[in-house]
Amino acid sequence: MRIKRHRAALGFLAAGMLLLSACGTDKNIPKGWEMNPELKSLQVECGTEPVVAEGSSAQKNAMDIFARAYGIKCEGQKLTYTASGSGKGVAAFTAGHVDFAGSDEPLNKEAGEVAAAAKRCDGNPAWNIPMVFGPLAITYNVPGVDDLVLSPEVIAKIYQGEITRWNDPAIRKLNPDAQLPAIDVVPFYRSDESGTSANFQKYLATATEGLWTGEGKTFRPGAGVGQGRSGSDQVTASVKQSEGGITYASWAYPKNAGLDIARIDSGNGPVALTGEAVSKAIDSAKISGQGHDLRLNLRSIYGNDKPGVYPLVLATYEIVCSKGYSPETAQGVKAALKVAANVNPETLEQAGFVALPPKFKREVLDAISAIQP
């Protein structure tokens, strides 16, 4: 029997769900995607039913853009996305309440998610398709310094409490021409469970070759180090209000707040956070999954120290059935994701995301095309 969404559950979800469509709010959606030649010329077999998804809040602004594009490219069709968090999104997907899940991490076999997803997909495997890449920025507020360079080791030592002043010799070595003030470093971190924290800690552990030992969605700095805040908006606001402040956050937050963003030196020169530098990191990514299951080997991204590469990137997935949807649902999921993969790169960058580079995009589109009823 082909999987169909539970209509009663959908009715419940619709009551509290943020509706993202051509007729929805455009307040936070950058303009300009309509001029994108790739999207204009895209041949897509539009769905006949609404596409419903749920999960990662890190994807929310990208999903706003995808939903608007889908609603206009496929006139009258809608993509709705509830930004409830990765765990709830995966649970809704495996229960058959939504068509796909957005997640900051691929399905976890040990936690039973792989088996539960296969059951939901009529006995077929679910695929993890990485489609939304949001670089993480190290943002700071240091008077007189607007071009700061940091290394992974220095960042780790700040959060371990080993570097406490902005004129520390380790920071001066990376910034020989900067007038670093003799003021305290004031680190802020996410106090809530966060995929951003999980990926930031994976990056630090990989890039420092084990100097950083923390892991998971709960960030644990050194004893007595820093101040916790809930949400990327709050850590960013705290840095803006605090002389000497520093934090990690999705790119859009410091951009919108007008804060400076550090360049990262992984050993082969400082690299600024730009779309091009992040694209190089994505293109270097190795796939650890099989076939069209595109789960990433994050070490291949976070450990990339080549010149011109910005490796601190949060990769988020769309979790889909490889097979087992109803024909109408499969058509809609494929159409919505194909549109998403072809939105204007400039529009995504304005919102703090990076478009799929060409080589990687081909792999993603091959996986989307392979989805079957």
Do the annotations mark residue 57 as ligand-binding?
A: yes
Q: What is the pLDDT of residue 106?
A: 93
Asked if 83 contacts 16 with a C-beta cutoff of 8 angstroms, the reply is: no
The structural domains of the chain, ordered by start, are: 7-133+316-369 (3.40.190.10), 136-277 (3.40.190.10)
pTM of the model: 0.84
Residues 231-254, mean pLDDT to the nearest whole number? 95
Do the annotations mark residue 196 as ligand-binding?
A: yes
Asked if 148 contacts 179 with a C-beta cutoff of 8 angstroms, the reply is: no
> Strands, DSSP E only, in 73-195?
79-82, 100-103, 126-140, 149-150, 186-190
**Summary mean pLDDT of the chain:** 90
Do the annotations mark residue 195 as ligand-binding?
A: yes
Q: What is the pLDDT of residue 41?
A: 84
pLDDT in tens, 169-219: 999 999 999 999 999 999 999 998 888 899 999 999 999 999 999 998 899
What is the rounded distance in angstroms from the CA atom of residue 316 to the CA atom of residue 331?
A: 22
Q: What is the pLDDT of residue 63?
A: 95
User: How does residue 5 score in pLDDT terms, banded at 50, 70 and 90?
Assistant: low
The conformational region for residue 150 under phi > 0 = left, psi -120 to 50 = alpha, else beta, is beta
Residues, the chain:
373
Do the annotations mark residue 293 as ligand-binding?
A: no
Do the annotations mark residue 86 as ligand-binding?
A: yes
pLDDT in tens, 24-68: 334 444 455 445 788 888 889 998 999 999 998 889 899 999 999
pLDDT in tens, 82-139: 998 888 999 999 999 999 999 988 999 999 999 999 999 999 999 999 999 999 999 9
pLDDT in tens, 320-332: 999 999 999 999 9
Confidence check: pLDDT of 19 > 50: no
Those residues whose C-beta lies under 8 Å from the C-beta of residue 226, and which sit 6 or more positions away, are 159, 186, 187, 188, 189
Do the annotations mark residue 104 as ligand-binding?
A: yes
Q: What is the pLDDT of residue 39?
A: 83
Those residues whose C-beta lies under 8 Å from the C-beta of residue 264, and which sit 6 or more positions away, are 138, 149, 150, 151, 152, 270, 271, 273, 310, 311, 312
Q: Is 339 exposed, middle or buried (0-12, 13-18, 19+ CB in 10 A)?
A: buried
Specify the 3-state DSSP secondary structure of 357. Answer: coil
Residues 10-23, mean pLDDT to the nearest whole number? 38
Tell me which DSSP letter residue 186 carries. E
